[in-house]
Amino acid sequence: MTGALAGLRVLDLSQMMAGPFCTMMLADQGADVIKIEPPDGEATRVFGPHFDDDETREYGGYFKSINRGKRSIRIDLKSDAGKAAFRRLVETADVVIENFRAGVMDRLDLGYESLAAINPKLVYAAIRGFGDPRTGESPYQDWPAYDIVAQAMGGIMQVTGEPDGAPTKIGPGVGDTIPAMMTAFGIVSAVLHARATGEGQFLDVAMVDGIFAVCERAAMVYSYRGEVSGRDGNHHPLFAPFGTFPCKDGWVAIGCPRDHFWQLLSAAMGRPELGDDPRYRENAGRTARRDEVVALVTAWTETQTKAEIAEAIGGRVPFGPVNTVEDLFDDPHLAARDMLADVPHAGSSRTARIANTPIRMTRTQGGVTGPAPKAGEHTDAVLKEAGLTDEEIAALREAGGVT
């Protein structure tokens, strides 16, 4: 590993999306992420899609995309032998992360306080739907939460969708990935503190909190005006034009947050007089007449293709085509930025193309380092690195602690 986090050891007990996405980010930057799986492996290994020639089905695309570059060990944390093995790993770890419901690890006698007694420098991170009582007890803390719940309760669905339509879920699982990114930031922050002071700590991110935190405009408007933000569809309440517009072969996004962009767009549309029209010259007037402005721009875009609009305003007015994933796989920008990684897939002769890290660094560049692990693939190696002998590992296996 040569990334900026090389040498950082992370014990990853998390499952599903939020926790594994967080540790994926750490692994991409060079951290040694050890995925602690139950005896039968993490349940998401069976999630598709699968390649047609994959007969072993070690994992599908869901698991592979967010568990790439990690190592796997299977431990039965419900057994005394498994707990003992895990505690040995904690002795040399920098980070433990989990996303169980509050209290699960405490009932196993593997909660933060128990592990911190073993390793005072340990950073213990948790992602839960409504947080952990250690940092603020929520009345909802025992509720199960997934992406859709976090999006709904965090406020982002209320401001997403068409004005007269229903609250709309954002397509990708941001209820998981946004808290995951915030947790990764929290972990790195806490590790810096631990290395400077020798003091570890507990940290957590509630999924609902993470979503609320990125709804900054809604909170600001309510705080300043007492107004509850509604749904603006694909347009903006403070700027016009600023949204998506139909064209001959799809849709494009155009934004004019500054007045000179409107003048450039008007000229490109063949309507230069609109740039100096007192009704539209300034953003305040355009916003007050948003429907008129949208209609004016739409009348032009509908007669053009994406390529023709790019030729007319690309690089001069904020603009971009609304891409499909097929478009993106062929996009020269992603190729130039090394944003697609080809990774082998266990059990298949084919390679999978997955999203690479978007973090670009000049000295410690990270990125996808390899495929997702088979369940328990690295059990012996990880235990030996923690100081266990072959005899001790064999005894743990005999006792059902590890597989």
Per residue in 161-210, pLDDT (tens digit) is 999 999 999 999 999 999 999 999 999 999 999 999 999 999 999 999 99
Are residues 199 and 312 located together in one domain of the fold?
no
Domain that holds residue 257: 242-323
Are residues 380 and 248 located together in one domain of the fold?
no
Count CB neighbours of 166 within 10 A: 10
Are residues 88 and 201 located together in one domain of the fold?
yes
* Catalytic pick among 32, 94, 132, 176: 176
| CB 67 within 8 Å of CB 35 | yes
Strand order in the sheet with 250-255: 242-247, 250-255, 319-321
Are residues 309 and 374 located together in one domain of the fold?
no
Across the range 145-159, mean pLDDT stands at 96
| CB 300 within 8 Å of CB 270 | yes
Look at residues 323, 349, 383 and tell me which one is the last residue of a structural domain.
Answer: 323
Confirm whether 220 is domain-assigned.
Answer: no
- Rounded to 10 deg, the angle between the 174-197 and 147-154 helix axes is 90
Confirm whether 142 is domain-assigned.
Answer: yes
Are residues 276 and 385 located together in one domain of the fold?
no
**What is the pLDDT at residue 18?**
97
Torsion of CA 55, 61, 63, 64, to 10 degrees: 90
**What is the pLDDT at residue 1?**
53
Q: Sign (positive/negative) of CA torsion 104, 106, 110, 116?
A: positive
Whether 176 is catalytic is: yes
pTM of the model: 0.94
List all residues 6 or more positions away from 142 whose beta carbon is below 8 Å from its beta carbon: 101, 102
Look at residues 291, 323, 355 and tell me which one is the last residue of a structural domain.
Answer: 323
pLDDT level of residue 65 (50, 70, 90 thresholds): very high
| CB 354 within 8 Å of CB 64 | yes
Q: In the chain, how many domains are there?
A: 2
Confirm whether 230 is domain-assigned.
Answer: no
Alpha-carbon distance of 250 to 321, in angstroms, equals 8
Alpha-carbon distance of 356 to 368, in angstroms, equals 6
Are residues 29 and 94 located together in one domain of the fold?
yes
Alpha-carbon distance of 313 to 208, in angstroms, equals 39
List all residues 6 or more positions away from 118 whose beta carbon is below 8 Å from its beta carbon: 87, 90, 91
Alpha-carbon distance of 237 to 240, in angstroms, equals 8
Confirm whether 331 is domain-assigned.
Answer: no
Are residues 182 and 206 located together in one domain of the fold?
yes
Whether pLDDT at 158 is above 80: yes
Residue 123's beta-bridge partner residues?
95, 201
Residue 71's beta-bridge partner residues?
34
Type and span of the H or E element at 12: strand 9-12
- Which three-class secondary structure state does DSSP give residue 344? strand
Confirm whether 120 is domain-assigned.
Answer: yes
- Say which CATH number the domain at 254 has: 3.30.1540.10
Residue 262's beta-bridge partner residues?
none
Nearest-5° Cα angle at 210, 64 to 61: 10
Look at residues 296, 323, 350 and tell me which one is the last residue of a structural domain.
Answer: 323
Count CB neighbours of 224 within 10 A: 8
- Say which CATH number the domain at 387 has: 3.40.50.10540
Confirm whether 232 is domain-assigned.
Answer: no
320-352: per-residue pLDDT in tens?
999 999 999 999 999 999 999 999 999 999 999
Alpha-carbon distance of 260 to 381, in angstroms, equals 61
The fraction of the chain above a pLDDT of 70, given in percent, is: 100
How many Cα neighbours within 13 Å face the side chain of 138? Answer: 19
List all residues 6 or more positions away from 368 whose beta carbon is below 8 Å from its beta carbon: 28, 68, 69, 341, 343, 354, 356, 357
Are residues 345 and 317 located together in one domain of the fold?
no
The fraction of the chain above a pLDDT of 90, given in percent, is: 96
210-221: per-residue pLDDT in tens?
999 999 889 999
Helices (H), 134-258: 147-154, 174-197, 207-214, 216-225
Are residues 124 and 165 located together in one domain of the fold?
yes
Are residues 127 and 151 located together in one domain of the fold?
yes
Across the range 266-270, mean pLDDT stands at 98
Are residues 139 and 206 located together in one domain of the fold?
yes
DSSP 75: B
Whether pLDDT at 19 is above 60: yes
Residue 243's beta-bridge partner residues?
254
Confirm whether 86 is domain-assigned.
Answer: yes
DSSP 402: B
Are residues 287 and 140 located together in one domain of the fold?
no
Across the range 135-163, mean pLDDT stands at 96
Alpha-carbon distance of 37 to 41, in angstroms, equals 5
Confirm whether 115 is domain-assigned.
Answer: yes
